[in-house]
Amino acid sequence: MNATSHYSLGILAGGRGLRWGGRDKGLICLEGRPLLARLVEPRPSLAGEILICAREHPRFYQHFGDRVLCETAADRGPCAGIVALLQSASFPSLLILPVDLIGPAEEVIAVLEQEWRENDKATVLCDEEGRHSPCMRLARNALEPSAAYVEGGGKRLTGLLEATEARRITISSQWLRDANWPETMRPQVDA
């Protein structure tokens, strides 16, 4: 059964941006807009709130979300950000996107909305080769296993996905493109 009820939308913006020389990726512009704006404008109709877990620049981020948070534990990668977002979410489920998603955010959000089932604890989007992304949706009951994983020293997203028994959903790798490297921001040329 498909459950398309309202959710909290969480944006992971706590990375160190090492491949970008320490730049905050949410501030990087693509086609004249900050990467963050591309995720939340227009606001998804089912997003009851927008939460942003940021490393720094909260004054910038506050213009795009309802609340700006920080990670629950330093240097635990996206897992600590996910726990912070789950702890703060006001709605029954939390849809998560990375701030550097440059694939079509509206389509990614639509898949996470449409594929959600009432009995899901977690879903994660994967590409055709089975590689997971940080694009996911978690129920509130995923908080306990997620927090236990981070408190136990867990840093890898794959471990958190196992702890929450995430159901994998396969989509086109083009939809999951991110700005991990500066060269990914260049226009793609069809061969």
Supply the pLDDT for residue 40. Answer: 92
Supply the pLDDT for residue 18. Answer: 45
Supply the pLDDT for residue 70. Answer: 81
Give this prediction's pTM.
0.87
Does the residue 29 lie in any domain? yes
Supply the pLDDT for residue 183. Answer: 54
Does the residue 40 lie in any domain? yes
**How many domains is the chain partitioned into structurally?**
1
Supply the pLDDT for residue 75. Answer: 66
* SS3 per-residue string spanning the chain: CECCCCEEEEEEECCCCHHHCCCCHHHCEECCEEHHHHHHCCCCCCEEEEEEEECCCHHHHCCCCCEEECCCCCCCHHHHHHHHHHHHCCCCEEEEEECCECCCHHHHHHHHHHCCECCCCEEEEECCCCCEEEEEEEEHHHHHHHHHHHHCCCCCHHHHHHHCCCEEEECCHHHHCECCCHHHHCCCCCC
Does the residue 2 lie in any domain? no
Render each residue's pLDDT in the chain as its tens digit; 191 residues.
455 689 999 999 865 544 444 567 677 777 888 888 889 999 999 999 999 998 777 788 888 999 999 876 666 678 999 999 999 999 999 999 999 888 899 999 999 999 999 999 999 999 999 999 999 999 999 999 999 999 999 989 999 999 999 999 999 988 888 765 455 555 544 44
Supply the pLDDT for residue 1. Answer: 46
Does the residue 191 lie in any domain? no
Does the residue 1 lie in any domain? no
CATH of the domain at 162: 3.90.550.10
Does the residue 158 lie in any domain? yes
Range of the domain at 166: 7-183
Does the residue 30 lie in any domain? yes
Supply the pLDDT for residue 10. Answer: 97
Does the residue 166 lie in any domain? yes
